[in-house]
Structure formats: C-alpha cells, structure tokens
Chain A
C-alpha cells in the first residue's frame, strides 16, 4: 500500500555540515528518509585523486562519522538514508559503511552503491564543447575527473531493492530527495509536471539549514534565534508532490516565507528552466503559505520533459595559487599597505618570478567590496593580500616569500605575515548524451 505522505529530512547541506541536526531529525523528526548532500562541484575531483593513492578511499571522509552517529537510531526507527557522499568511490563507501555497521552490531544492514556517473573515459575519448565558457574539453590540459549528474531513477531503484542506505557519487542534488518520493509513491519519472514539483521540494531541502534560517540573519533586518543549534528542515510530501516544510520543535532557526523564497531562488538561473537529468523544472508558479510557526506549505511548480543530454562536471588540474598577507595599523596604514604591494610586485618582476594574474587587495577596504566606493573613514587597520597563479608550487611560493620579506625590507609596522600555496582543481562543464550514461546498483550487506 502506498503511504498518504512521507517525511524526508535534510541531514547535511555540504560536506562539512554539522552532524547533531541530523541526529535530532532522526530521533525527533518522525522521518521516513534522511538525505545527506555532501558533494560540492570540485569535491569529486579531489576525491578522484585520493582514490588514485588509495583504491579503498575516494569517498567523503566524514561519511563514516555521520553514519556512526545516526545509524543506530535510523535503523531502530526505520529511517532510510540517501547520500551522495560516495564521491569518487560509492562502492568503496558502501563496503566501508557495511564494515562499520558490523562493528556496531547492525548486522544485515543493506547498503546500495549507485555508480555510472563516472564518464571520464567518454569525455577523454572525444572533444566536448564547454557550456560554462568558450572552448572545448581539449583546452583543459590535465583532466582528472568527469562526472555526469545522474537523476532520481537509480536511487528509487536501489530503495525498491530494499536498500536501507543508498550511497551515490554525482547526482543532481534535488534527485537525492526525488528518488525517495518516486520510490514511495510509485511515480513515473516521465510525469514531467509531477517530477518538476518534486524537484522544487528537493531543491528547497538540498542545502539543509539554509532553509531554516542559516545564511539569512542580518542584525536589525532579519532576526534568527538559536543559530548555534540550528534545526535542519524536513518536508512532509504528499502524493501530488505538494509538501509541508517543518523543523523539529524546540530546535534553533526560523522557517519563514522569507527564508523559503530565498532558498527557492538560491543558485537558480532561469527560474522557468531549471534543468535536471529527469526534468526541466519551472519554479515560477511555486507558492508558499504559512500554516503556523516554522510550518510552511509549498505548492505549485511545473516541469517539461527531461533534456536529452546530461550535465558533466570536468575536474582538471589548473596549476597553483600562491598567496601572502600582512597587516598594517594606525594612521597611514592604507598608504603603507599600498607601498608594500608595490614593493612585492616590483620584487617579483626583478626576480622574474613566473607568476601570472598577480593582484593586490586590501582586506578591510577593497578585497570583497565591488562598489569601488572610497571608504567613508580611514580604516584603523588593513591587511594586504597578494595573490597570483603559477604552473608550479615552487614559483607560486615566491609570492608569499616576498610578502614575508616585507617584515625587514618593507614599510614600518607590518605584522602577522602569512604565506600559502595551494593546488588548483578547477571545474568546467559540458554535456553528453544521456543515452551514453548507464547507472548501475551494487548491493552490499553488513
């Protein structure tokens, strides 16, 4: 028998998210499903590199900690878990969770790994036009990963096969939520209007605490109580893909019309055409209604049939970024910091450092501000940040070294110098025909 409604909770909105709110949802949220969204654009590229050095690794390093914390309560209450924390190695992650479950006495736990998103061989075998910038995949010198955004189908299939934990690599974030709905209600993925509305719900939940008051507070304009114990949201979804959004009573945060509107549009480009693997969702007719404190009804939304092509994120090695910082304070601080910047730039030219795109900004003045307006008062302190790009770590390190040399060779009163070098794993996007991607499911039992 099909349920009238199901409850899906959002247990994480990014890889490093807090763990307690997920446990709170499992214990007090009366959930059917809990979703951990843990995969940023470039995370999978970094994970692919980890897997090269450790064939058993390459999945989210926090996955086992999250599972250790929530599995006992989730199993006791019949809450099934869906997560994309498999990153570059969902099968390895499934085996690791099975081993953990055995250690915890949770024998028989069924874990499914969804694979097929890794399309590196396909992408390497031909030249693919990039969709986020001019050029093609052939312009990216050292490609390390290519992953297609899968849809909800394989997640629903894994749940139908009895999986209590479903671990994927790259799937569209809303699909992590749409999968359980499709499974529970027996929807057809070809019903574009229904899947479009389900995608709205998934999108609202995918960033977890950003729906319930995270990334929202602004003193004086927008008050949010209890952000240190922010409660994550759940959706009580009906078979027509309408939903009531809520959070555990007594948890921190605020679920309001305003927070829902902000999250609906978050990282949406054309609200009439939100392209996913299963549907092109249309958000323009979505409406919210306040049913009570921290209870918001969401209705509306639409969809058109799925695109023929899947989006693919290509991770590539893009050299190194070198950076140095140093602070100045007191009268004339800005002038001394500007002098320091000019000295570093001249030094890097004198030693012919092979660095490009060198830029100097003053933190506290013009490092994130883009209005170009001069400050109304002279700041009491500023921090010079010099940053640039290089093909090698050695050359990138020259930037920080020249900033540190300002201690004894630069203007007076420079303090707190730091230097850093980091490798750049950049991401570009392309499309490949959906028919060339074949998702697969591997079942593992603890």
Chain B
C-alpha cells in the first residue's frame, strides 16, 4: 500500500523550514506510520530536496507525525528562486511512499 491509502498530509513553511504533517485517517494505522514514515525514508523519497536537518515529532494522541525539514526552502519564501517558494506541493509528493503491509494496522483488527 501507499502512504496516501492510510494517511493525509498538510505542508506549511516557516522561514527556510518546510513542515509536513502526516496524519492517519484511522488512528489504528498510526503504528504503520510510525514504522514506515521515518526521516531517512522521507528524505530518500524526496531525493532532490536539500535539507540541513530533519526532525520527526510523534503525536500518538492525534495519530500523527510532524516533520520539520530545516533549510529545505532555498532560503525561505521571501528570497527563494523556486517556483513553489512555500514548498506547498512537497507533502503531496509523499503520498506515494510505499508502506510495508507487514506492520499491523486498521485491517489487522
């Protein structure tokens, strides 16, 4: 399965930081997110994104992960040369990240 089958995402920006939340449609799938959507996998999926530092925050109570990608916006919205200076389109590109079916989730109940 793909990330977009079990989760939705929203992307925001703060200065030169891109922030992407990944939220399970069903909280029962949160363990799958925790296991599959790791910092190395996110960075490998967005292979052309240059990032200075990446951090993942876990929010089990919301069934969500929050990724903070520092230095990802080529200097930030106000001076970036990128077409999508906010990086608004970044989170959507994670939706086809493959998710391992072996980790228990909603359908394992």
> Chain A: residues with CB nearer than 8 A to chain B?
41-42, 132-133, 215-216, 218, 221-222, 258, 261-272, 283-287, 318, 321, 357, 359, 361, 363, 366-373, 385, 387-389, 424-429
The reply to whether B61 and A285 form a contact with Cβ atoms under 8 Å apart is yes
Nearest CB in chain A: distance from B27 CB, A: 10
Q: Tell whether A372 pairs with B13 under 8 Å between CB atoms, given A258-B23, A265-B64, A271-B57.
A: no
Asked if B59 and A271 make an inter-chain contact with CB atoms under 8 angstroms apart, the answer reads: yes
- Knowing A267-B13, A361-B83, A363-B83, say if A371 contacts B23 (CB, 8 Å): no
Residues of A within 8 A of B57 (CB): 270-272
Can you name 28 A-B pairs with beta carbons within 8 Å? A41-B15, A222-B8, A258-B23, A258-B25, A261-B63, A262-B10, A265-B10, A265-B21, A265-B62, A267-B12, A267-B13, A268-B19, A268-B66, A269-B14, A269-B17, A269-B66, A271-B57, A284-B59, A287-B62, A318-B78, A368-B84, A370-B93, A372-B48, A385-B83, A426-B78, A426-B79, A427-B15, A429-B15
Cβ contacts B55-90/A at 8 Å (1 or 0 each): 101010111101010000001111101111000011
With A132-B15, A287-B61, A426-B76 in contact, is A359–B47 under 8 Å at CB? no
Residues of B within 8 A of A (CB): 4, 8, 10, 12-17, 19, 21, 23, 25, 45-49, 55, 57, 59, 61-64, 66, 68, 75-79, 81-84, 89-90, 92-93
Q: Are A41 and B23 in contact (CB under 8 A)?
A: no
Contact call A265/B59, Cβ cutoff below 8 A: yes
Q: A357-B81, A367-B83, A370-B49 in contact; A132/B59 too (CB < 8 A)?
A: no
Complex interface: chain A residues within 8 A of B78 (CB): 41-42, 318, 424-427
Decide if A267 touches B62 in the complex (CB within 8 Å): no
The residues of A that contact B59 with a CB separation of less than 8 Å are 265, 271, 283-284
